[in-house]
Amino acid sequence: MFFFTLVYLLFVTPGYCQSCNTSADDGFGIGTRTLPPAANVSTAPPTGPYRVGVTFETYCFQDRGLTLSFWYPATPEETASPYVSTGGIVGKAVQDAPIDPAGGPYPLILFSSGLAAVNDAYYFYLQNLASNGYVVVSTQHLDARNANTTSVPAYSALAALDAAAGNTNDAVVELYTEWFRETQFALTYRPQEIEFAIDQALAENNDPSSRFHRTIDADKIGMTGHSLGGFYTNVVGGGMPLYCDYIMRPDQLNPNNGILADVSPCAFSTCQGLPSPSALHDSRIKAIVGLAAPSFLTKTQIARSAAPIIIPNMILTGDNFTSETTAWIQRAIYDNTAGPSHWVKVAKTNHYLVADSYLLNPVLSANMGAADKENFLDKAAVYMTYSAAFFNYYLKGNGSNYAILTEKSSSFVKELEFRNFDGGS
């Protein structure tokens, strides 16, 4: 029995990882900063018809453990206790519940979290997509518990000045200067982790021993991501090219330039080594939702790089000038994509709201504006309503979501716009 168990573990279990040490990724925090979890705080309930399960798988990737969380339509026992996230948030998902085959196969949605955010920090957002009939895969990116803020006071000071001026895009790059310099704006690991996560989900779909066997529709893949994950949603999912053919100043091409926000990705070897500007594009992805996505591109290049995005795109963001990703950068993407484009701005909302584990964390939230923390359920509803309607419309082809996508659902929808969207499906 022992022998067979061992053989099974070594050769059969998908992604079983013998040599990886995953303990560094354990626990809750923001990058290297450990935070005490909230004391089992309830999050916003999901809106869809399915009940939800969540399960975790750790794989070996780049010689380390990489954990994926899967959120999916499920049939848990009525009495089962809900999963408590590492951040101490309680929702409706039941860990390891049986998958509900009734509505399958389900489209797949890849979720990429923000810089320094753990994979289960977006409880309401992830469980809501699953409750609407999607298998959602969230990645524990390398930065989740490894990214650190700068130790150079001048960079921190610059970041504070930029944030106060609404240039939060550059502020984050400056605050994490060493991390972003060493990882070349995360190009050395994020696109690879995203590809790995999609490949693993599809492998589970093909594996008779997996709970996800034949539950995923491999032709219907969407991607959504928050913050840094939103940038990579545009690059990997949308095919946003990293052009290096324009005239650059020496400081833009110097990877050691002190002000990293001025440096182009083209200064780094990973970007230079790409076979083409859009080599990171994964054409399996058919629709994308970027939550407060920043951009590392030279500012004059953003509109040009948005133009080749031909798949449907939604931008969903808060409105806090100093505590949400710079609006004009997101707007430049919205205004210039070739395909259908949707714009939703949530009122009185900061960068953390969609990540309930951070917004509702007692330590982190102590520094947040009071108005941004009020009416959490109403604001969460905006994120849930429009992200689900978008994927229902574009991945499932459910035309009755047209009305949702064209109407303000509550007074917390500050702006709602769309382009190249005629309602014909």
Ligand X SMILES: *[C@@H]1O[C@H](CO)[C@@H](O)[C@H](O)[C@H]1NC(C)=O
How many CB atoms are closer than 10 A to CB 386? Answer: 22
> Helix, strand, coil proportions of the chain in percent (round to 5)?
35, 20, 45
Closer residue to ligand X in complex, CB, 9/371: 371
CA 24 to chain centre: 21
* List of residues contacting ligand X (CB under 6 A): 21, 23-24, 39-40, 81, 84, 148, 151, 178, 182, 320, 322-323, 350, 368-369, 371-372, 392, 398, 400-401
Residue indicated by tokens 């919205």:
334
Radius of gyration of the chain (CA): 21
Q: What is the smallest separation between the CB atom of 2 and ligand X, expressed in angstroms? A: 22
Spatial neighbors of 247 by CB under 8 A, at least 6 apart, are none
Residue 49 vs 98, nearer CB to ligand X: 49
The CA-based angle 57-62-67, given to 5 degrees, is 20
Q: Which of 314, 267, 325, 306 is nearest to 286 (CA)?
A: 314
DSSP helix/strand/coil, 366: helix
Nearer to ligand X, 100 or 204 (CB): 100
Cβ neighbourhood burial of 286 (10 Å; 0-12, 13-18, 19+): middle
Q: How far apart are CB 211 and ligand X at their closest, in Å?
A: 23
> CA-to-CA distance for 413 and 409, rounded, in angstroms?
7
- For the bound state, the minimum distance from the C-beta of residue 40 to ligand X, rounded and expressed in Å, comes to 4
Q: Which is nearer to ligand X, 122 or 176 (CB)?
A: 176
Cβ-closest position to ligand X:
369
The token pair at 127 is: 């469980």
- Of the pair 151, 276, the CB lying nearest ligand X is at 151
Query: Whole-number minimum distance, CB 246 to ligand X, in Å?
Result: 31
Q: Which residue lies nearer to ligand X by CB, 65 or 290?
A: 65
Closest distance to ligand X from the beta carbon of 39 (Å): 4
> What single-letter DSSP state applies at residue 8?
I
C-alpha angle with apex 374: 223 to 175, nearest 5 degrees? Answer: 55
Query: Please, which residue, 142 or 297, has the CB nearer to ligand X?
Result: 142
CB of 160 or CB of 274, closer to ligand X: 160
- If the CB atoms of residues 281 and 396 are measured against ligand X, the closer one turns out to be 396
Contact 17, 59 (CB under 8 A): yes
The CA-atom distances, in angstroms, between 97 and each of 11, 12, 51, 425 are 25, 22, 10, 35
- Shortest separation between residue 369's beta carbon and ligand X, angstroms: 3
How far apart are CB 305 and ligand X at their closest, in Å? 28
Spatial contact of 15 and 209, defined as CB atoms under 8 Å apart: no
Q: Can you point out the beta strands (E) in 295-412?
A: 313-317, 341-346
Select 23 or 276, whichever has its Cβ closest to ligand X.
23
Closest by CA position to 52, among listed 74, 80, 78, 68: 74
Q: Which residue's CB is nearer to ligand X, number 147 or number 332?
A: 147
Largest CA distance in the chain: 66
Residue 250: count of CB within 10 angstroms of its CB:
7
d(Cα 357, Cα 192) in Å, to the nearest integer?
Answer: 26
- Shortest Cβ distance from residue 317 to ligand X (Å)? 13
Q: Is 88 helix (H, G, I), strand (E, B) or coil?
A: coil
* Closest C-alpha to 18, from 55, 58, 56: 58
